[in-house]
Structure 1
Amino acid sequence: MAASMGVATLESAPAATADTAIPDTVAPGVPETVSVDPLPTPQIDGVAWEQLVIGNTVYVGGNFSSARPFGAPKGEGERPRANFLAYDLHSGELLPFAPSFDAQVRTLAVSPDGTRLYVGGLFQKVDGVSRYRVAAFDVASGALVPEFRPYVNSYVKTLVVTDTTVFVGGNFKTVAQRTGGPVPAVARTYAAAFTTSDATVLPWSPRIVGEAQVESMVISPDETKIVLGGAFRNLNGSSNPGYTMGATDTITGTTVLKWNVNGAIPKRSHVEKYDVSVYSLKSDGEFVYGVMGPAAFEGTFKASWTDGALAPGWIADCHGDTYDVEPVGDVVYTASHAHDCGNVRGFEDYVAPSKWYRALAFTDAATQKTRKETAGYQNYEGLPAPTLLNWYPDFDIGPLSGQGPWTITSAQGFVLYGGEFRKIGSTKQQGLTRFATAAVAPNKNGPALSGADMKPTLTSFLGTHIKLTWPSNYDRDNEYLTYQVIRDDDFENPVFETTRSSRFWERTTLHGNDGRLAPGTTHTYRIRTVDPFGNSTVSEPAAYTVTGAVPLAWTPYDRAVLQDQPSAYWPMNEAGKAAYDWAGSSHLTSITTPRVAGVEASPAARAGSFNGVNTYAASSVRLAAKPTFSQEAWIKTTTKRGGVLMGMSTSRTTANDSFDRQLYMANTGQVYFASIDSGAVKTVNSTSRLNDGKWHHVVATVGAAGARLYVDGALQSSRTDQRTGAPLVAGAYWHVGAHQLTGRPAIPASIYFAGTIDNVAAYDRPLTAAEVKAHYQAGTAPAPNARPTASFAPSLSNLSAAVDASASVDPDGAITSYEWDFGDGTTGSGVKVSHDYAGSGVYTVALRVTDDRGATATTTRPITVTRPGILAEDLFARSVDVGWGSTPFGGDWVAAHGASGLSVIDGSGTMTAGPGQTRSAVLSGVSSTAVDVRSSFSIAEAPSGGGQSVSVVGRQVGADYYAARVLVRATGDPQLQILRSGTTIKTVTLTGAAYKPGEVVNVRVQVTGTGTSTVSAMAWTGATEPSSWQLSVTDSTATLQQAGSVGVRFYLSASALASTVIVRDFSAGSAG
């Protein structure tokens, strides 16, 4: 497969990383990786050592005995597969081709024309037929090739095939051609070659010296050179090249060809603990890719086919042995147990969460230089290196080999891993897996952290404004994540949003803001992290009560700056002698001149005015002087005496102390930026003159690409050799309006600036050109309408609620309408509104406000209203699958005869019973000696057999109770009865027509007194309640002369058909 290689100047700077969805505005041209989502793939019960794709079929060799489908636990759907299997590349379905090998398979190869599959390993029989460590199959028929029967006396680890020759490497000493007669052995140490036609032994015989085997081989595109890799120490009499790897010809194998990577990766002594080996070699046709370990070099290299040089190739100097490599276009994938990639500016040693990162991806292009070794390994400082990409599938390890992935291959956009892993992330998948790009993958892997790990810290700011800080999240295949600040669980309208890069080993602190909060209100805040595919996590909430009296206004420009995460931002919108830092906590002080109108088209925008004589400002605390940075300001002046706009100094005064990062104006009106790089002052300056009395946007950035100076959103000057500033290791203060300029070019007549400065910001990274342009556009755009804030306070009395929306505010206008939804189907309008509810309950009240330019805002709040004297009330406004759940007032319904026949649906509580069954629900949390209970019900089916009865319980103590029971039967009028437990103590017939299915019956029962209790009952249909009790009795049963609970019972006679009662409402109040 082809790979591209870009040629660029390599810098020792942190490199941009890639993933499955890279914002082109921040990382143009960075390659896309596959997703970490594992696709359906067969599973095996051992280890996969090698994979090969021919057409749409994936062949796998290894040490296993069985395969099963994706997602199946061990033992389910198992199919015998003896060390070899095949599956479909696109579907992941296991294929029937399954030759049986009597020992493990270690290597696979295909003929150039794709018609023959070669297999090597430790086996001696294939499907019962003798094949000594090498076999060949016809791809079309799946049959063994009968005429190809080589003999190899021990382990075969690697195969390379041309049209005429099969090259074999491994741990063997003799080979032969098997013809059916005696086998004349030919000496070959670790490497040999056979003809493809009949396995004739060829004269190719490299002289390999050492105590271990040839692990891998790769052949050049013109088939004139073979590179061998393994644990040997000498190839054809040479150790450089020749130690662990070397290049030789394809005819005799005895020549030593150039292989310069041997000079870059030194050998180790025989007495050292570890013997280094080259485990795998691959080629994309232009370069050779190799992996090694342990100790001397444990990473990946890319070398030229011509001579093995690392330029324009590279080394990826990660620690932790690397076992396989696969170049796929612009990305190179590896299998390893990497635990430290600090030398390529990746994660340091054993970093959580995984500590070992067993699958990695790198750019195919060299992008930087290797960092100096600090952990005691061989130092490869200065050699070209690739970028570590943001792709970290979470493989575990197997119990036998102690490693997860061992082998990688790719085809048609898929990247295939095999080994002894049992799980990838949270997906149980053993031995094999497929990965694909975002266009094919499900893209379900999301941000890693949530809950308490992402809970924000809240800081009050000028009373009605709040600062939030939170740790950055990370995602295993997306570096750029969006963070949304969610106020009061309004997920549809985040109050702040920023998109930043983050990697698991470089988690930073992010910050956000919220303003325009109504005084006296309390709000909750969550952080939602969203990846480019919409997968999200949410933090735990943090609460904040607004303490200020006047809402602090902020502009769209403020939001644009804060979203780009400045280390400090001073919009200067406040009155007084301090300009507050809206991003951090280093406020500017000593601003002695008045505020004037700022650059934004908003009455809230203010700026600092400096007199050019003695006024300036300095930050209150030191800030870190980062090596890469940006600084930004808006200025307006007509001065011809210049002056300092902003800079850093180790002193808060204008004294001539250590200073750097000076952004200043010369007498000509041109703006200069100066910083010290490598001990020399270096500058860039504007071509235009900015002292024309108009607002101008000025940004200086310093990073790996050099220094850049932007004016009004456009680049005006740059240089590539100004890539850092003076260290100022103890940090420094930011100055605005004045400081020293000793040793700088074009020093103005005055260090004090005469003019207006607004929206000063500092960043710990170079802003991109797109970000600079966006800030300029935000500063010059017409002021948009700011949304109002909806807020209200309720005042409650029994069933009445009075709501007041006076706390709602509009920062740039007036609220023109207030619309209310009281949560019970009724609405209202106005600032202050009263409303009476029909019954007790928890209602969600919604307020929608509209301002004078049509913007709206909505807030909701639950309120609780209670009927006077109410003990319990339930309108069943919920859904419960099993049981009746909880009432708004009265606590939990307890199902005394099992909850399986109870449910709540469509505003009713239902009880379903079979013949001879009782259902009951009791509010055990209610306790009273004087209660008045009301309920209404209907029965879905016509009465049958001995009938059905519904009881409304007025007092229940243990198993005993008083109740009013309505009995309906197949014949005759319904009856109303008063029960004491299961005994009827008084009855009255309810005259009229027989009960009709669905007819609503109202029941009321009252129980009062102790010692002697009075029980009264009535039942009726329609709207008119009887004027007096239909039944009333007294009773002195001792167990019932105390406070009890209330409830509902349903009984179905043994001769009746199954039936359901629908309870529409239930309430219990104090009697008397």
Structure 2
Amino acid sequence: MTQRHRRRPLSRLAVGAVAALVTALAATGTGAGLAAPARAAGAVVLSTPKSLGGWGVTGLDLTTSPLADFKSNVTALAEWNGRIYVGGMFTTVANKGVAKASQPFLAAFDRATGAWVPGFRPTLDGGVWDLAVTPEGQLLVAGYFGRVNGAAHPALVALNPSTGAVDGTWKATLSRTTGRVGVRTMDLQGSWVYVGGNITAVTGGTGTDVATVKGKNLFRLKVSNGRPSAAFRPALSTSPWQVDASPAGDRVYAAGKFGTVNGVPKRILAVLSATDGSLVSGVADVRPSYETSGGAYSEAVLETADRQFVIATPTEHSLQQLGRATLDRRAAHYTGAPPGDWIAGGGDFQAIAEKNGVVYAACHCWKQDFTNAWTTWVPGLAPTSWSRYSRIQGIGAYDAVTFAKLDTFTPSLFGQYGDGTWQLFVDSAGCLWAGGDITHTGGGAWLGGFAKFCTT
């Protein structure tokens, strides 16, 4: 897969010169004093993480990761039967920072108490990037591993979520023409699970329902048995970083750093027909907030539950609300340093989730969130214009319709490497889970790679 973009910092003189220009041009910004209208304010979860009994994960094994500069030990979360499954690049299960067991890459915890589930002990030889649970109760595990429980299962496997044993009723073997096969993203919708990664062929299915389909980086497999669809055949020039299939069943969103889709120039966000993977006509190209030297990219995308909007993350610190029909730009947020501050702050949005009309978006950002900010001269400094700004520390909450920032949600999450949160997930009890480079709260409480926020 394509490496996650990291900027080369500007020199102090360059930052200072451009910051002065930004400050001058940003005279239209009105500051932080305005109130934020909030249709969904009453539905926001509490900012204080719920107690998990001190349980979590520690360690960071990057030997199997294709991203040399990626330093987040939790990248995947899923739920089944009162358990939360945690996947990533971690090495051990711990309690209050003290290692309790070697359990690399995948572990299970009690949803209510947070206690580790020691009966779930699968063995993988590489990191986990995404998790999904089928209606039949199989735990689909995707990532950059080659073997599971001692047998070959490159990049994708179905496990029994109770025991961790491989489930032979669901089979899909992924391969790649050259290089290493891997999966970064999955999305289960209806009868299909969409799988994005470094993949050029999939052989899957069981019994007489088996097929081999060749393609390029994005495939659709039967939820029932893993058989690939020959009808859905998009071709992405690089692996998508996230896919999101609409519950309407008509389209699939792919976000990433690709340059072409189906041979047509396309970057940041592709909207594909769920029928055959062709590009949906009549939608606008998503514009980046800043043209990086390494090229534009997007790390997350989500269609809202009411299907009115698409929430996307154009490159460099930006979160945008787009109209679903044509992807016309409606509203935007940007993370950066406050006006006049020449020390860059903020960071890219990396994960999105929605609950009760509230969109939660996570980033490696610990300074300010600017409303109605579309562009910037220097990523990390104040944008060229805005309507208001307020503090953000790792995760922000936004009204799904008005896209106003909901300042009542003020979590404080910090990590060891500054990589921030990479996964947001809402469980069946309505609690929001965050996973990533998360080691402690602002108050100093230990967090082992993930945190839970509830309404009470």
Alignment TM-score, normalising by the size of structure 2: 0.73
Structure 1 position 114, deviation (Å)? 5.7
Matched with 2:398 is 362
Matched with 2:425 is 409
Matched with 1:277 is 297
> Which runs of no fewer than 5 residues in structure 1 stay unpaired?
1-11, 19-26, 367-384, 441-1072
CA distance in 1, matches of 2:305, 2:320: 15
Structure 1 position 67, deviation (Å)? 0.9
CA distance in 1, matches of 2:381, 2:45: 25
Structure 1 position 427, deviation (Å)? 0.8
Tell me, yes or no, if structure 1 residue 246 matches structure 2 residue 270.
yes
SS at match of 1:16: coil
CA deviations 1:82-103 (Å, max 9, x no partner) are 2111222222122232322210
Residues 267 and 97 (structure 1 numbering): CA distance in 2 closer, same or farther, change over 3 Å? same
1:54 to 80, 87, 94: 80
CA distance in 1, matches of 2:314, 2:57: 27
* Contact 1:82 1:99 (C-alpha < 8 Å) held by counterparts: no
Matched with 2:108 is 86
Structure 1 position 276, deviation (Å)? 2.7
* Contact 1:131 1:149 (C-alpha < 8 Å) held by counterparts: no
Structure 1 position 232, deviation (Å)? 0.6
1:30 to 33, 37, 41: 41
What amino acid does structure 1 have at the position aligned with 2:90?
Answer: F
CA deviations 1:439-467 (Å, max 9, x no partner) are x3xxxxxxxxxxxxxxxxxxxxxxxxxxx
Tell me, yes or no, if structure 1 residue 221 matches structure 2 residue 221.
no
Residues 162 and 341 (structure 1 numbering): CA distance in 2 closer, same or farther, change over 3 Å? closer
| Matched positions, count | 376
* Contact 2:315 2:348 (C-alpha < 8 Å) held by counterparts: yes
Matched with 2:415 is 397
Tell me, yes or no, if structure 1 residue 342 matches structure 2 residue 370.
yes
What amino acid does structure 1 have at the position aligned with 2:103?
Answer: R
Structure 1 position 187, deviation (Å)? 3.6
* Contact 2:333 2:370 (C-alpha < 8 Å) held by counterparts: no
Matched with 1:634 is none
Matched with 2:200 is 173
CA deviations 1:462-511 (Å, max 9, x no partner) are xxxxxxxxxxxxxxxxxxxxxxxxxxxxxxxxxxxxxxxxxxxxxxxxxx
Matched with 2:184 is 157
CA distance in 2, matches of 1:92, 1:317: 33
Residues 342 and 116 (structure 1 numbering): CA distance in 2 closer, same or farther, change over 3 Å? same
CA distance in 2, matches of 1:167, 1:247: 14
Structure 1 position 163, deviation (Å)? 4.8
Report the more deviating stretch, 319-328 or 280-289: 280-289
CA distance in 2, matches of 1:73, 1:285: 37
Residues 28 and 358 (structure 1 numbering): CA distance in 2 closer, same or farther, change over 3 Å? closer
Residues 83 and 107 (structure 1 numbering): CA distance in 2 closer, same or farther, change over 3 Å? same
* Contact 2:289 2:314 (C-alpha < 8 Å) held by counterparts: no
SS at match of 1:342: strand
Tell me, yes or no, if structure 1 residue 116 matches structure 2 residue 138.
yes
What amino acid does structure 2 have at the position aligned with 1:252?
Answer: D
CA distance in 2, matches of 1:92, 1:15: 39
CA distance in 1, matches of 2:40, 2:141: 39
CA distance in 2, matches of 1:420, 1:220: 29
Report the more deviating stretch, 299-308 or 246-255: 299-308
CA deviations 1:1035-1059 (Å, max 9, x no partner) are xxxxxxxxxxxxxxxxxxxxxxxxx
CA distance in 1, matches of 2:372, 2:34: 9
What amino acid does structure 2 have at the position aligned with 1:58?
Answer: I
Structure 1 position 55, deviation (Å)? 4.6
SS at match of 1:31: helix
Matched with 1:471 is none
1:241-640 map, 5 Å: 242-260=266-284, 262-263=285-286, 265-266=287-288, 272-287=292-307, 289-292=310-313, 294-295=315-316, 298-311=317-330, 314-319=331-336, 320-338=347-365, 339-344=367-372, 349=381, 357-366=393-402, 385-399=403-417, 402-411=418-427, 412-425=429-442, 426-437=444-455, 440=456
Tell me, yes or no, if structure 1 residue 137 matches structure 2 residue 159.
yes
What amino acid does structure 1 have at the position aligned with 2:156?
Answer: V
* Contact 2:304 2:311 (C-alpha < 8 Å) held by counterparts: no
What amino acid does structure 2 have at the position aligned with 1:192?
Answer: F
SS at match of 1:247: strand
In percent, how many aligned pairs have the same letter? 19
Alignment TM-score, normalising by the size of structure 1: 0.33
CA distance in 2, matches of 1:156, 1:28: 38
Residues 280 and 414 (structure 1 numbering): CA distance in 2 closer, same or farther, change over 3 Å? same
SS at match of 2:278: coil
Tell me, yes or no, if structure 1 residue 207 matches structure 2 residue 235.
yes
Structure 1 position 420, deviation (Å)? 1.6
* Contact 1:121 1:155 (C-alpha < 8 Å) held by counterparts: yes
Structure 1 position 174, deviation (Å)? 3.4
What amino acid does structure 2 have at the position aligned with 1:89?
Answer: R
SS at match of 1:318: strand
1:190 to 213, 217, 224: 217
What amino acid does structure 2 have at the position aligned with 1:35?
Answer: L
Residues 43 and 268 (structure 1 numbering): CA distance in 2 closer, same or farther, change over 3 Å? same
* Contact 1:362 1:388 (C-alpha < 8 Å) held by counterparts: yes
* Contact 2:206 2:227 (C-alpha < 8 Å) held by counterparts: no
Residues 118 and 282 (structure 1 numbering): CA distance in 2 closer, same or farther, change over 3 Å? farther
Matched with 1:100 is 123
CA distance in 2, matches of 1:317, 1:309: 18
Residues 254 and 308 (structure 1 numbering): CA distance in 2 closer, same or farther, change over 3 Å? same
CA distance in 2, matches of 1:65, 1:59: 15
SS at match of 2:167: coil
Residues 85 and 53 (structure 1 numbering): CA distance in 2 closer, same or farther, change over 3 Å? same
Structure 1 position 15, deviation (Å)? 4.5
* Contact 1:300 1:325 (C-alpha < 8 Å) held by counterparts: no
* Larger Cα-atom Rg: 1
Structure 1 position 197, deviation (Å)? 4.2
SS at match of 1:393: coil
Matched with 2:7 is none
Structure 1 position 133, deviation (Å)? 0.7
SS at match of 1:317: strand
CA distance in 2, matches of 1:235, 1:421: 35
Matched with 1:929 is none
* Contact 2:371 2:405 (C-alpha < 8 Å) held by counterparts: no
* Contact 1:86 1:97 (C-alpha < 8 Å) held by counterparts: yes
Structure 1 position 404, deviation (Å)? 2.7
CA distance in 2, matches of 1:325, 1:184: 34
CA distance in 1, matches of 2:103, 2:167: 20
* Contact 2:189 2:246 (C-alpha < 8 Å) held by counterparts: no
What amino acid does structure 2 have at the position aligned with 1:422?
Answer: T
* Contact 1:31 1:331 (C-alpha < 8 Å) held by counterparts: no
* Contact 2:371 2:404 (C-alpha < 8 Å) held by counterparts: no
CA distance in 2, matches of 1:435, 1:407: 13
Residues 164 and 391 (structure 1 numbering): CA distance in 2 closer, same or farther, change over 3 Å? closer
What amino acid does structure 2 have at the position aligned with 1:208?
Answer: L
CA deviations 1:138-170 (Å, max 9, x no partner) are 446654221422222312011122454332101
* Contact 2:212 2:228 (C-alpha < 8 Å) held by counterparts: no
RMSD: 3.3
What amino acid does structure 2 have at the position aligned with 1:245?
Answer: L
CA distance in 2, matches of 1:28, 1:120: 37
What amino acid does structure 1 have at the position aligned with 2:419?
Answer: Q
CA distance in 1, matches of 2:189, 2:46: 34
